Structure 1
Amino acid sequence: MNKLHQLFGLAAAAAIAAPAAHAAEFNQVAPEKSAVAFVFKQMNVPIDGSFKRFKGTLSFDPARPAAGKAEIEIDLASLDAGSSEANEEAAGKLWFNTKSFPTARFVSTSVKALGGNRYEVAGKMTIKGKALDAVMPATFRQDGANGVFEGSFILKRADYAIGEGMWADFGTVANEVQVKFRLVATAAARK
């Protein structure tokens, strides 16, 4: 579940930090072309999942990546963990508690260029009302008028109290969740 937050954070970080070959400002995430997914292990068996609804805004000029800003919000009730039973469980109080905490959010605070179209985006990840510092690696490439930000990171679900009570045992569900994202952002030409 923390993977989702990390994934959004990475997507936001990538959207903020990546340089482009053309003078353009990337300013809107296109969710229909983007994806946020995760992999966790339950009883040491990898389980894939994704979030179907998310949105993002950003301000990223490839000529000035350090000035970039991003905010990514994920609708936690849109989680798809492979079955309706798993989705209902994840929405419940012991996991995401979507009735009280319907969204996860990443808001960037800085972008650092690492070279080779690689970036580190720092910010605050908020899940279940808990805001923690997060640093996410991302890559960027230009695809026509769009910018494509991709990355993955490890989110520790216990940091956000995702999987409480009987689910707190890491032998049943591992603490580490790999979050993967691919964010496609549209660009507006510079005036």
Structure 2
Amino acid sequence: MNYVLPALLLGAGQRNAGGECHRVQSGASRKSTLTFVSKQMNVPVEGRFKSFRGKLAFDPAKPSAATAELEIDLASIDAGSKDANDELAGKAWFNTKVFPVAKFVLTSVKPLGENRFEVAGKMTIKGKTQDLTAPVTLRQEGNSATLEGSLVLKRADFAIGEGMWADFGTVANEVQVRYRLVASAAAK
């Protein structure tokens, strides 16, 4: 079965005769989540991004044909307080006035068996692009599917936390990112 991220997450996607999603507008879904855990002075700090959008076409029977693009509104960060959110939106961290969006573009999907896949792509944050590989587990239920996984990003790879925040003794370089994307079956 071919799955696409739903209109709630992506906005109104239209399909061409081949069934590929070719237009997506922004929106949000309560079922899909993008969260992170960083460590400040070795204490875990949790947060999330409240707004992200994208498009996904994925058929588990044909993983090599998958396409996906995800854009994250960096100003939608929620790190638990207004002060933390304002700091993270600032120049030393995400610099959202200059770089409002982070973007992931899928380049390949490798099946690992038992509804597990390895996805590879290009992640761009603050104008810096890095290759990224992450595991994904697919859970299918009726006409919907959930893609879940986690990965570790190194904030220094994207110049996140510059100046006095570049010291990894205060804020760790590694950030655990967890994702849960809920998709619906595409109309044939």
Q: How does the TM-score come out when normalised to structure 1?
A: 0.85
Deviates more, 1:40-49 or 1:138-147: 138-147
Partner of 2:56: 58
Deviations 1:43-75 (A, max 9, x none): 111000000000120111122111101001100
Partner of 2:131: 133
Partner of 2:40: 42
Unpaired runs of 5+ in structure 1?
1-23
Q: Which one has a bigger Cα radius of gyration?
A: 2
Unpaired runs of 5+ in structure 2?
10-27
Partner of 1:147: 145
Structure 1 residue 116: deviation in Å?
A: 1.4
Identity %: 65
Partner of 1:5: none
Structure 1 residue 144: deviation in Å?
A: 1.9
Q: How does 1:153-172 map to 2 (within 5 A)?
A: 153-172=151-170
Match of 2:94 among 93, 96, 112: 96
Structure 1 residue 138: deviation in Å?
A: 0.8
Partner of 1:14: none
Q: How does 1:111-130 map to 2 (within 5 A)?
A: 111-130=109-128
Give the partner amino acid of 1:26: Y
| Higher share of residues assigned helix | 1
Higher-RCO chain (CA-CA 8 Å, sequence separation at least 6): 1
Q: How does the TM-score come out when normalised to structure 2?
A: 0.86
Match of 1:77 among 75, 78, 101: 75
What is the rounded CA distance, in whole Å, between the counterparts of 2:68 and 2:185 in structure 1?
Answer: 14
What is the rounded CA distance, in whole Å, between the counterparts of 2:187 and 2:111 in structure 1?
Answer: 22
Structure 1 residue 189: deviation in Å?
A: 3.6
Structure 1 residue 28: deviation in Å?
A: 2.2
What is the rounded CA distance, in whole Å, between the counterparts of 2:143 and 2:100 in structure 1?
Answer: 32
Structure 1 residue 37: deviation in Å?
A: 0.2
What is the rounded CA distance, in whole Å, between the counterparts of 1:118 and 1:63 in structure 2?
Answer: 12
What is the rounded CA distance, in whole Å, between the counterparts of 2:60 and 2:170 in structure 1?
Answer: 43
Deviates more, 1:61-70 or 1:174-183: 61-70
Match of 2:3 among 26, 41, 59: 26
* Superposition CA RMSD, Å: 1.0
